[in-house]
Amino acid sequence: MTQAQLPQRNRGDGVNKRLFAGFALQLGAILVSVILVVFVASWIIQNIFVRTAIEQEAELFVQRVTENSSVSPPVTVNLTGYHVPAGTSAPIPEYLKELNPGFNRLEDIQSGLIAHVTDNDSGRFILVYDKTQLMRLAFYFGLIPLGIILIVTWLLSWMSYRMSHQAVSPLVRLARRLEKLDLNKPDQALFDLSEIRQGSDKEVAVLANALDHLNERLNRFVERERNFTRDASHELRSPVTVIQMATEMLLEEGQLGDYERRTVMRISSVARDMQALTEAMLVLARESGEGLAIKEIDVNEMVADEIRRYRYLVRHKQVEIRVSSKGRLLVQGPPSVATVMVSNLIRNACAYTDDGEVNVIIGTETVIVDDTGVGMSVAEVENVFKPYFRGQSIAKGGHGVGLTIVKRLSDRFKWPVEIESEPGVGTRATIRFPYCRHIDEGDPAE
């Protein structure tokens, strides 16, 4: 994906999926709640209402028989009574003879039977209650209506989901169109939103119109950016090329004195700096790095060239420039970009070191520029990459944009740069090249 392309969205977090998950969760919560209510209601009916009713019937049965021994035990559809006078053995079903006082479940005899036994001086009183009919009525007048409510609730939820889905589907289609949009290769047919506007809500139409307007502005901006980089590339490079050619012709004549030759060489060096800086600025002006020549850069040679170009900055100082390496460091990338980054760090080290050393260390994947200059405080280091920032201890030269350019190039090409500094001790700048080749000094040349 190019840098100008819109970032990919996470399809797992799509609006449609969120809506479906929300309605599914709602239905699941309703279903669980209804099931819990049914179980709780069934438990209450069986363990509270039925027990209470049987206890009251048993008290009334005992009271009536005690008052009048000739009263017959109750016999109904759901309730059957038995009375065994004390000291006798009245004929009762065998499974009722060994029951204990109180409630007894007779599930092993017949499902749904509950027996309540009362013993007193008048004998044993047994009430057998068949709760099958009660549970059947609870099913007909409880579970079936609840089932109908669940079905109606599900249908209403599904209709709500479909209506919500239809409401947000234009937004989903719009997001998918934007996901495929590449500003480097704009496709007007892809960004035609007339189909999405049809039948959509007012808010969607307003959003589509705003995106149309934004797309037009982006296309104009991209066209201006391309025209600028093309024109600037030609118009800025031409005078620099003329300056370089003129200085080379002067140096080839051989009639210049030492002072004139040094001056011309300095002009040639600055012209090369200007050419590299122009390349870097044009890279930053582009939205992507396309069109840049990618080569294998010999960092050792590049550092040696930059040190030769900046020795004039320390010619009147007691400063020694040293280079050390653990082998040859080879990096894949645009040579102009790497040159601008390394060049700025070496130039800053030479410019702000009045006494001591400037050490350039080429590691296995890093280039370190270490100096014994004025240094910076912690607060200054935190702001060193900001445009036009200059430390308080720096009283000469520069405009505060060199390190800003280095940082922007670092971010663009994923070559991290770090600055460490201490006032009065010096500064250490490190560029890291994550993807590189390193040839040890003992290895044969490739």
**Rounded to the nearest 5°, which phi and psi values hold at 423?**
-55, 130
Do 241 and 301 fall within a single domain? no
Q: Which helix (H) or strand (E) holds 68?
A: none
Q: Among 9-18, 122-131, 173-182, which is the least confidently predicted range?
A: 9-18
pLDDT at residue 265 tops 50 = yes
409 part of a folded domain: yes
Split at pLDDT 50, 70, 90, the class of 424 is confident
> 184 or 388: which carries more pLDDT confidence?
388
Query: What is the domain-level CATH number for residue 306?
Result: 3.30.565.10
Domain end point (choices 260, 282, 304): 282
Do 243 and 349 fall within a single domain? no
Split at pLDDT 50, 70, 90, the class of 5 is very low
> Which tens digit of pLDDT belongs to each residue from 204-253?
677 777 777 777 777 777 777 777 766 666 666 677 778 878 887 887 77
> 442 or 272: which carries more pLDDT confidence?
272
How many C-beta atoms lie closer than 10 Å to residue 411's C-beta? Answer: 13
436 part of a folded domain: yes
> Which tens digit of pLDDT belongs to each residue from 111-144?
778 888 898 888 888 888 887 777 777 667 666 7
Split at pLDDT 50, 70, 90, the class of 444 is very low
The structure tokens listed for 171 are: 């937004």
| Whole-number pLDDT of residue 27 | 75
Domain end point (choices 227, 251, 282): 282
How many residues are given for the chain? 446
**Best CA proximity match to 221, nearest among 169, 285, 175:** 285
pLDDT at residue 2 tops 50 = no
Split at pLDDT 50, 70, 90, the class of 198 is low
* Domain extent at residue 235: 204-282
pLDDT at residue 320 tops 70 = yes
Supply the pTM of this predicted model: 0.51
Q: How far is CA 5 from CA 166, 175, 179, in A?
A: 28, 13, 8
Do 313 and 427 fall within a single domain? yes
pLDDT at residue 345 tops 80 = yes
Q: Report the C-alpha gap between 418 and 63 in whole angstroms.
A: 99
Do 339 and 239 fall within a single domain? no
Amino acid, res. 399:
H
Q: Report the C-alpha gap between 302 and 146 in whole angstroms.
A: 82
**Best CA proximity match to 5, nearest among 210, 184, 222:** 184
* Residue tagged 């989903």 (tokens): 172
| Whole-number pLDDT of residue 142 | 66
By the 10 Å C-beta count (0-12 exposed, 13-18 middle, 19+ buried), 441 is classed as exposed
* Residue tagged 């601008």 (tokens): 340
The structure tokens listed for 310 are: 């900046």
Q: Report the C-alpha gap between 280 and 409 in whole angstroms.
A: 8
pLDDT at residue 189 tops 60 = no
Do 276 and 324 fall within a single domain? no
Q: Report the C-alpha gap between 382 and 118 in whole angstroms.
A: 91
401 part of a folded domain: yes
Domain end point (choices 258, 282, 306): 282
Q: What is the mean pLDDT of the chain?
A: 78
How many C-beta atoms lie closer than 10 Å to residue 190's C-beta? Answer: 13
Count of structural domains, the chain: 2
Strand order in the sheet with 417-422: 318-325, 355-362, 366-371, 426-432, 417-422
pLDDT at residue 367 tops 80 = yes
21 part of a folded domain: no
Do 214 and 248 fall within a single domain? yes
| Whole-number pLDDT of residue 416 | 94
Do 314 and 232 fall within a single domain? no
